[in-house]
Structure 1
Amino acid sequence: MPPTPITPDLVHGAAELEATPRGLRPHRLPGWARRQFPDPYLGLMQAQTSGVRLLVRTAATALTLTTHPSRLTYTGLARPRGRIDVAVDGEVVLRDELTGGDHTETDPATGAATPHSGPPHSTAITGLPGRDVLVEIWLPHNEAVELVALDADAPIAAVSEPGRRWVNYGSSISQGSNAAGPSEIWPVLAARSAGLRLRNLGFGGNAMVDPFVARTIRDAPAELISLELGINVVNGDAMRLRAFVPAVHGFLDTVRDGHPDTPLLLVSPLYCGIHEDTPGPGAFDPASLAAGTPRFIATGDPADVPRGRLTLRTVRAALAEIAAQRADPNLHHLDGTELYGPADAETHPLPDGLHPDTATHHLVGTRFAQYLARAEFRRG
């Protein structure tokens, strides 16, 4: 059969698809937001396809998706490749590690960046039953991809995804850093468990309470919204308390302009020992870089906290107070240490001092789904 055109109705969880010489590149932020703040690092993170998936119904016995990945690498530091995960009728049947593609190699000592090019990647889905099934193809959470071609030995139909629409905003923890694959990041695990249609706005290093993200959420269809805020503001040393509190209020005001009654969950930072009482900025531990096993450290001065410099403890207290002040019956506050707390750090330590591993993503995703099962979220 001829290749199936990859059309927007096959792709879920993206803001838009950009036509490229190779095919289509999914973006998680709309073009107007990318143009308003054309920051290279944010651009890289939003192009990584966390939570983006293709959904099709087919009676094919074999299906092949061709993609062209692109990623960032660091000289001397091995980083796991991204993965494409495939589920058939809800069961994950394939975990396909990416090969080839383009990458930009950055020297962490000098900042020098060198581009490299490579071939496309093919994900072959074989052994399908030859009867009508739902195939979900989860794109990598930690690499960008261009969708080049979709081939099958039987017709493919687009699917209207069931469930309430959930928009989640957050940091690299929401994007899925250190998880093994895209179906194992905590928002995807929670969405699959709770039967939600996820749009993941987790941006590594970039959950900075940006107004253009608030407007993006304001304009997005949603029956549930969650905001995981604080860790990037702390480890980026981006704000003091005086700026942070009004910024969060303004973010919430903008979201409420489009979603006056939608259940909205304000999630404070998960436990992270390096930043509990020490402000940012965060940095790589030089000794860990020399050993090839990067770990993060906090470099701020705790003595500055009384003058408004932020730690995770001060952020949690501020978010709890904001939620209480607003007297919004559909605004809920979740202390992030209920998802991952000090005791969990003993049994599930953060491998690099900042990001959870795959097992911890499963723990957080399970707890978040259990939290959503409470009565106040059973709307829509």
Structure 2
Amino acid sequence: MTTSLITTSLTPELFRGALELERTPRGLLPHRLPARARAQCQDPQLALAESQPSGVRLALRTAATVVELDALPTKRVHPGLPPRPDGVYELLVDGALAGQATAVGGGDTLTVDLTSGTTTHHTGEPVTLRFAGLPHRSKRVEIWLPHNETTELVALRADAPVEPATDTDRPVWLHHGSSLSHGSNATHPTGTWPAVAAAHGDVELVNMGLGGSALLDPFLAQALRDIPADLISIKIGLNVVNADLMRLRAFGPAVHGFLDTIREGHPTAPLLVVTPLHCPIHEDTPGPGAFDPEALARGHVAFRATGDPAEVAAGRLTLAVIRDELTRIVTQRATEDPRLHLLDGRLLYGEADNAELPLPDNLHLDATAHRRVGERFAELAFGTGGAFRRA
């Protein structure tokens, strides 16, 4: 006999990692930036990044053995390149992976021509994701949404009542960074390096890694200021270089202002500044970064740096320059802010790591490197002597 399923309203209390839920004509769209911040920037890259629910999950308490989620993803297609993998949905029971699913055969499609920059959008139908065979007992169930696929949620059903998980005594870790933190090239949502680190550190993650968009914007600092958090980290540098939006004269004051704004809302929380991970194309060569046309012609996405190293003396930024400047700024500020800390990103992924696990597109970590970085961050930040160590 088939047991009928109970529909549960998708309310904010069920979500972790989303700052705002937008009611759309077809469902509920999680945002990682509030409307006020989104209104201050019309960059389509930021709009795409913040709508991709990296770190966003449903957190439930239920005895259900079957859970269904109707989802409406937006899948990206790049003509001339191999198809992108479908976004992965993961179900965890009491912190352990119990199932994975993909929204195959439905959803919207966003076609992006990387050579012309033009986009077209086609609408599709929702897909039902079914997780069955769960243990018949009261348990915490988390459903992690795809980290790299904009997803509207339409309905949630289960064969037993569902309540919001209320075990929120774990510290909240708020992290901001670039596409590396967002999870580019990770193969599943709990495999991004912040998710790996959060699991090892036993903390609640709010992932504000925003692909292409970690640019020291004031509205982003204000959003970080207003998010409740016990532990905060910001990884600065890669997007500043590959976007080539500022020079050294502007960078230093922008970092100070960013930190000042965060401290307005979190005056005593441990605040960890992470310098750039090793990235050969931008270590000593300024941006802007660009797609490598030769790689695209071969059907492969790769990036290159197009700046002139000779212009570093005039204030053009490289990762090496940014590491030095961040070290100077944090050292200066730490004399009055003893809970401000610095972590050299090359301890997470350095030159030796690149030789062993090279960046597949010259810019982003692969899945194995994501796990390595997450484990190292957990050891260096949450472990003995780390900025986030527990008393």
Same fold (TM over 0.5): yes
Is 1:73–2:83 an aligned residue pair? no
In the TM superposition, residue 180 of structure 1 has moved relative to its aligned partner by 0.1
Which among 129, 135, 146 is matched to residue 135 of structure 2? 129
The correspondence for 2:266, drawn from 259, 264, 267, is 259
Q: Which residue number in structure 1 is paired with residue 126 of structure 2?
A: 120
Does structure 1 residue 214 correspond to structure 2 residue 249?
no
More moved, 2-11 vs 107-116:
107-116
Per the alignment, residue 64 of structure 2 pairs with: 60
Q: CA–CA distance in 2 between the matches of 1:308 and 1:242?
A: 7
Matching of residue 92 in structure 1 with residue 92 in structure 2: no
Give CA deviations for 1:24-58 in whole Å, capped at 9, x if unaligned. Answer: 11000001111121322211110000000001111
Match of 2:350 among 341, 344, 354: 341
> What is the letter of the counterpart of residue 85 of structure 1?
E
Cα displacement (A) at 1:379:
4.6
Is the contact between residue 71 and residue 103 of structure 2 (CA under 8 Å) also seen in structure 1? Answer: no
Distance in 2, Cα, partners of 1:182 & 1:169: 16
| 1:346 shift after superposition | 0.8
TM alignment of 1:1-380, pairs within 5 A = 1-78=5-82, 79-99=84-104, 100-160=106-166, 161-326=168-333, 327=335, 328-372=337-381, 373-375=383-385, 376-379=387-390
Asked if the contact 1:267/1:335 (under 8 Å) is kept, the reply is yes
Structure 2 counterpart SS, 1:377: coil
Quick one: which amino acid aligns to residue 136 of structure 1?
E
Distance 2:191 2:206 in 1: 15
Letter in 2 for 1:196: V
Answer yes or no: is the 8 Å Cα contact 2:6–2:160 preserved in 1: no
Q: Percent identity?
A: 53
Distance of 2:376 and 2:6 partners within structure 1: 44
Deviating 4+ runs (over 3 angstroms): none
Gaps of 5+ in 2: none
C-alpha RMSD of matched pairs (Å): 1.2
Contact 1:168 1:226 survives alignment (8 Å): yes
Distance 1:378 1:222 in 2: 15
Deviation at 1:166, TM superposition (A): 0.9
**C-alpha displacement at 1:115, in angstroms?**
1.4
CA offsets per residue over residues 121-170 of structure 1, 9 Å max, x none?
22111001211111110011101111110111111111123310111000
CA distance in 2, matches of 1:377, 1:129: 34
User: d(CA) in 2 for partners of 1:377 and 1:44?
Assistant: 31
- How many pairs align? 380
